Structure 1
Amino acid sequence: MNINVERQKMADRLFLVAVEGEIDVYTAPVLKKELLPLTEISGTGVTLDLSRTVYIDSTALGVIIAALKSAARNRCRFSVVGMSPRVERLFTITGLMEILRREKIAEGDN
């Protein structure tokens, strides 16, 4: 299982976390380590880019939900972009897409 997580500072207090590969039980801790600390900083904006993510499992969904909750607690703007149809379908089936849309933090969805 391979994963590459790139964390970039785009502007003052704006971050992009881009994931390439598979996010599963083995690789999710890598994403969690890079993503969650950014959502704990009040007033930041964090975008999770999944455009190069080929697979995610329930562990990955747990990390994204944890990031969403952390962002809400810390008044951090959190968004998810670049979902493939397969990833978007998983988000829809699990109800996560509805939460993201309600919070207006999913972009680029069909």
Structure 2
Amino acid sequence: MTEFTVERSDQGVGVIRPVGRLTMVSARQLTEAIAGLVDSGTPRIAVDLSATEFMDSSGLGALIAGLKSTRQAGGDLRIAAPNEQVLTILRLTNLDKVLRPRDSVEEAFDRG
């Protein structure tokens, strides 16, 4: 079972940390966590993937849906610290060009 922590940084960025596997079973939780932050006025979100050991197409779909909802709210969604498996999924789908991975959550909104 994937666990999620959700917090807000001092810079007003929502940070979501999925721990475990981001699959069809847990993708809905990620979508709900993103929606909760956006609905509460936090449209800039960093998803910290450092503790995500595996991601499938459902997890990827949740990230893309989150990207859309944050941008519609005037914000953005960035990903941070993905492992090699997640990077491979992003590269195979060319979504590494859209969800440009950052090395850390702190760097997620440092640059454009």
Q: TM-score range with shorter-chain normalisation? A: 0.7 to 0.9
The match for 2:93 is 94
Note the residue ranges of structure 1 that are not aligned, 5 or more in a row.
none
Q: Distance in 1 between matches of 2:2 and 2:42?
A: 28
The match for 2:108 is none
Identity, % of aligned positions? 21
Taking only aligned residues, the RMSD between alpha carbons, in angstroms, comes to: 2.0
Answer yes or no: is the 8 Å Cα contact 1:23–1:53 preserved in 2: yes
Moved more, 18-27 or 41-50: 41-50
Q: Distance in 2 between matches of 1:7 and 1:42?
A: 14
Structure richer in helix, relative to its length: 1
Question: Structure 2 length as normaliser, TM-score?
Answer: 0.82
The match for 1:48 is 47
Aligned length: 104
Q: For residues 19-64 of structure 1, give each alpha carbon's deviation from its aligned partner in whole angstroms, at most 9, with x where no partner exists.
A: 1000111111111111233245666321100000011111111100
Q: Distance in 1 between matches of 2:57 and 2:32?
A: 17
Q: Distance in 2 between matches of 1:14 and 1:44?
A: 8
Structure richer in strand, relative to its length: 1
Question: Structure 1 length as normaliser, TM-score?
Answer: 0.83
Q: Distance in 1 between matches of 2:25 and 2:42?
A: 31
Structure 2 letter corresponding to 1:72: R
Moved more, 24-33 or 47-56: 24-33
Q: Does 1:21 align with 2:24?
A: no
Q: Does 1:108 align with 2:85?
A: no
Q: Distance in 2 between matches of 1:67 and 1:78?
A: 7
